[in-house]
Structure 1
Amino acid sequence: MDNRFANIFGLTEEQSIALLDTPPEQATDESERYIAASQLANYPSEASINALIRAVNVTYDSLDNRITRRKSVESLGKLKAKQSLEVIRPCLSDTDRYTVEAAVWTIGEIGTENTEILEEITQLLLKPDQAYRVIIHTLVKLNYVAAVDRVRPFMDHEDEPTASAAIATVCRFAQDFSQIDRVVSFLQSDSVNARRACLEDLINARYYAAIPAIARCPISLMFRLRAIRSLADSGIAAGEVSINEVLPVIEQILLDHPNDLDLVHEYDQPPVLEFLIRELYHTDFGRTYLATQTLIEQQSEAVPTALFETYEAEAHNDYGAHYHVMKLMGWLKHQPAYDLLLEALTNTSPQFMKSRAAAALSLGYLGDQRAIAPLQTSAQSNIWMLQYTSLMALEKLGDYSQHKLLLEADDWAVRAKANQVLPGVTTNSTGLMNS
């Protein structure tokens, strides 16, 4: 479990249990029970699990309590609490579709081979107004092949993420890849949700041929990296993918230049600088990448000042825009940004992790030898993406000292990168060193 954002509300386990056990009709602020249910996912103890089970069993009829029940069900899934399965199962027939969705997801997280439960989940595909994508994904996760024919009708569903999940499931269960290109085509959907969703489906289908197309999909590099590395892990184990094939794709994604993407949006008229800067804050990275490309190609002289101004105003506290500012400073080779990039490189706040990687690369683009020492330090971090980008930046600065130190790094991609550039050393398909 990733605990980097745990306990953001400052509640102890005991306080969370006490709040959650408060009868909903007596709660002074019902949101406190919801927060407590959320917090208990960070405490994998019998006391927390029992408190969450009690909350699921509280059926007081109010919207606030329904929301708290959903969160309690979800937290039990995050804790993978097998002892809660019989309490979660009745939620599959709840009148609240969102509680049903939470129950399906949680059963997928807990895991079961009980065919009666798996059939109950499958039967939900016949009910109207359900979270069909979550249902289909859970059936895949639990490897319930018997559901394949009931999934097939959803291959033509009007909702792209649902259709994508259904197609990928048929590919996986029936080994029928005749429509897999439709899933790949969703990588170029106007909908950012469809673009993100189909990545998960391509992973589930184990469709390794999609790796180059995934790299060019205009969504956050974090989604693309997760998909590529997941496919690489299974593909390398199956002998269908080699590290030497994947490594250039990983580097392309880490560089994250808009010219290496297949952009899905376009402008109907030349945009002004102020508009382009605002696009750096857009949640659809497809729009942000179009803006960064335009800033580089058409506004390069005016951009640095505007970037500094937006950084001071907002981007310093907005991890999405912060990342794009760091990348742009490097591509524009704006030397006065050195101190800003150095600050970003050493920012250990978890939400700015990808900005650290972006800053590393941008320092390499600036070509300032002062960056070698801090990049050597970041190369020894425990974050694979920062290690990798630091090596890439150090290469630009002519320093290979850290490559030698990372020849046996824990992460296979970092290990392969370190081995790749040293004279007389190559890597085999497992990422191990050959000399």
Structure 2
Amino acid sequence: MKELKSPFDNLPSLSQEEALKILCTPINKLELASDYYKAAFHLSKFPGPLTERALLRLVESESSELPVVIARKKAVEGLARLRCIAAIPAIGRCLTSSDPYLVEISAWALQELDCQDPDLHQVMMSLLDDRKQHRRVLIQSLACLGVVSAAPRIKSLQDDATPGVRGAALAAMFRLCGHRDRLLELELHLALPVQVDRHLAIQDVIDAGEFGLLKATLRAPVSPTFRMRALNSLWPEEVGQQNDLDLLVVLDALMRDDPDDLDLVHRYDESPTDSFLIEELFGTDFSRCYLAVQTLRSRNPKELWPLLLKCWERAKKDYGAIYFFMILFRCITDWPEKAQQKIQDFCFFALDRRWPDFIKFKPASILTLMHYSPEIACSHLSQWLNPEKSPYWACRYAALLAIEPLLHLEGWGALLENISSNKEDPHRFVRAKANSLEMNHIGASPPAS
């Protein structure tokens, strides 16, 4: 049986046979309490009747033992990802569980399986009255399944005190009934003070499917990964311009991620010290990090450099700090001469293959390295543009964006040969950029004599 491996799979590998054997092992013989969970996780990579039967047995188990309770949720998820329609009745029975997390994953699974059982819809609707449940997911599932009869209950939640519930209800009412009267309230959610609420607001915009909210979404101060997901979801196929937005202009800005292009939530009451601002780059709230970068760009780089060196090794262990260091290195260009090699080494550290392919700082690192060392960066271009060696589309796009200023310079025109294959790239945004670069280069080239 072929294994369907996820790029985010970091658990120790198990074969289908090994996973099935673990699920047949009595609890008191398990090596670790997490073994059932690990087995259920890996089984979902092996489609087929054996896998489905094993996961179904786990879902139908009434054991209250912790290893089973934990694994049961993963089994529900696995059956949904395997599109096992026969599992709908068993998953539906999980909606009556006293465990709200099992109820949550079951509601999501029924959505994924396109459950059209009105009795299960009714159970999900009744759960909306229970504040102990994850009502946001229940709303999303009912809306996705097109359960119009749920609209009256969902409408009452548009004024819920919890932003995540409120936003999901606003999006659902538009999706189920076409009610636009309160849809623009989602824009306000994009600027909520708590970052998680801003993340949820972007998903609400995606769920609503309303293109008119895209411009505000692109200015939300959150990780670019969330904004990229919204763009990919809302932008029409094979369309270069929509309303007053140009796809490539939007994408270029997303890759550069200049803080000035965002509507930052936070402000400083007093001018902070350089040390404080650098420390902010290690924070978890991206609005605060962007504000710190925005403020640091007006400071003296010769005074900043020693402060950065003090936390250099610490930054190399912090995903967010690596990302914002990359932006800072492009926002400020007149660093001390001795800093150039250090920055280049930092870029190569961030681009190392040991990091996950889909990590957010890799595209930023490509742009920064090309900024400081174009000749060295171009020697890696074929790797960055290859979908097999560089599976994250944003890395391939960043590489194209990085070489764009070089294409019209004397001696750099040969770079155009590197991008010819990307005109057929698996991702539509990369295809659009590659075709645009070729067209612009041809248009700017002098006519042949």
Tell me which interval the TM-score lies in, with the shorter structure as reference length: 0.7 to 0.9
Query: Partners in 2 of 1:52 and 1:78 — Cα distance?
Result: 12
Shift of 1:255: 0.7
Amino acid at match of 1:190: P
1:14 aligns to what?
17
Tell me, yes or no, if structure 1 residue 394 matches structure 2 residue 403. Answer: yes
Distance 1:424 1:114, change over 3 A: same
Amino acid at match of 2:422: L
Of the structure 1 ranges 418-427 and 204-213, higher mean CA displacement relative to structure 2 is found in 418-427
Distance 1:371 1:30, change over 3 A: closer
Q: What is the aligned length?
A: 424
1:330 aligns to what?
330
- CA deviations over 1:232-266 (Å, ceiling 9, x no partner): 046x68x9937972221121111111111111122
* Pairing partner for 1:195 from 178, 194, 198: 198
- How is 1:102-181 mapped onto 2 (pairs within 5 angstroms)? 102-181=105-184
1:317 aligns to what?
317
Query: Partners in 1 of 2:94 and 2:284 — Cα distance?
Result: 33
Structure 2: stretches of 5+ with no match in the other structure: 444-449
Tell me, yes or no, if structure 1 residue 99 matches structure 2 residue 102. Answer: yes
Query: Partners in 1 of 2:312 and 2:82 — Cα distance?
Result: 39
Query: Partners in 2 of 1:187 and 1:396 — Cα distance?
Result: 33
Distance 1:407 1:52, change over 3 A: closer
Query: Partners in 1 of 2:154 and 2:51 — Cα distance?
Result: 36
Query: Partners in 2 of 1:299 and 1:77 — Cα distance?
Result: 54
Amino acid at match of 1:370: I
Amino acid at match of 1:365: H
Residues 44 and 79 of structure 1 are in contact (CA less than 8 Å); yes or no, is this contact kept in structure 2?
A: yes
- How is 1:242-391 mapped onto 2 (pairs within 5 angstroms)? 245-298=246-299, 300-312=301-313, 314-333=314-333, 334=335, 335-336=340-341, 337-345=343-351, 347=353, 349-350=355-356, 353-366=359-372, 368-381=374-387, 382-391=391-400
Of the structure 1 ranges 135-144 and 71-80, higher mean CA displacement relative to structure 2 is found in 71-80
* Pairing partner for 1:59 from 57, 62, 70: 62
Amino acid at match of 1:45: G
Amino acid at match of 1:326: M
Query: Partners in 1 of 2:160 and 2:267 — Cα distance?
Result: 27
Give TM-score, length-normalised by structure 2.
0.85
Tell me, yes or no, if structure 1 residue 420 matches structure 2 residue 436. Answer: yes
Distance 1:255 1:20, change over 3 A: same
Residues 163 and 189 of structure 2 are in contact (CA less than 8 Å); yes or no, is this contact kept in structure 1?
A: yes
Of the structure 1 ranges 35-44 and 285-294, higher mean CA displacement relative to structure 2 is found in 35-44
Tell me, yes or no, if structure 1 residue 213 matches structure 2 residue 216. Answer: yes
Distance 1:143 1:366, change over 3 A: same
Structure 1: stretches of 5+ with no match in the other structure: 428-435
Question: What SS does the corresponding residue of 1:407 show, helix, strand or coil?
Answer: helix
Query: Partners in 2 of 1:9 and 1:274 — Cα distance?
Result: 41
Query: Partners in 1 of 2:41 and 2:325 — Cα distance?
Result: 33
Residues 223 and 286 of structure 2 are in contact (CA less than 8 Å); yes or no, is this contact kept in structure 1?
A: yes
Amino acid at match of 1:385: A
Shift of 1:211: 1.4
Query: Partners in 2 of 1:21 and 1:302 — Cα distance?
Result: 63
Residues 283 and 289 of structure 2 are in contact (CA less than 8 Å); yes or no, is this contact kept in structure 1?
A: yes
Amino acid at match of 1:360: I
Query: Partners in 1 of 2:321 and 2:203 — Cα distance?
Result: 25
Amino acid at match of 1:420: S
Distance 1:328 1:107, change over 3 A: same
- CA deviations over 1:243-299 (Å, ceiling 9, x no partner): 972221121111111111111122344434444333323222122212222232235
Query: Partners in 2 of 1:365 and 1:158 — Cα distance?
Result: 47
Percent pairwise identity: 30
Query: Partners in 2 of 1:345 and 1:351 — Cα distance?
Result: 9
Residues 56 and 73 of structure 1 are in contact (CA less than 8 Å); yes or no, is this contact kept in structure 2?
A: yes
Residues 327 and 364 of structure 2 are in contact (CA less than 8 Å); yes or no, is this contact kept in structure 1?
A: yes
Cα RMSD for the two superposed structures: 2.8
Amino acid at match of 1:293: Q
Shift of 1:405: 4.5
Distance 1:99 1:359, change over 3 A: same
Amino acid at match of 1:258: P
Query: Partners in 2 of 1:257 and 1:52 — Cα distance?
Result: 46
Shift of 1:221: 0.3
Residues 241 and 247 of structure 2 are in contact (CA less than 8 Å); yes or no, is this contact kept in structure 1?
A: no
Query: Partners in 2 of 1:73 and 1:108 — Cα distance?
Result: 12
Residues 311 and 325 of structure 1 are in contact (CA less than 8 Å); yes or no, is this contact kept in structure 2?
A: no
Of the structure 1 ranges 86-95 and 407-416, higher mean CA displacement relative to structure 2 is found in 407-416
Amino acid at match of 1:374: H
Give TM-score, length-normalised by structure 1.
0.88
Query: Partners in 2 of 1:352 and 1:383 — Cα distance?
Result: 5
Question: What SS does the corresponding residue of 1:177 show, helix, strand or coil?
Answer: coil
Amino acid at match of 2:318: D
Query: Partners in 2 of 1:170 and 1:229 — Cα distance?
Result: 23
Distance 1:49 1:315, change over 3 A: farther
1:430 aligns to what?
none
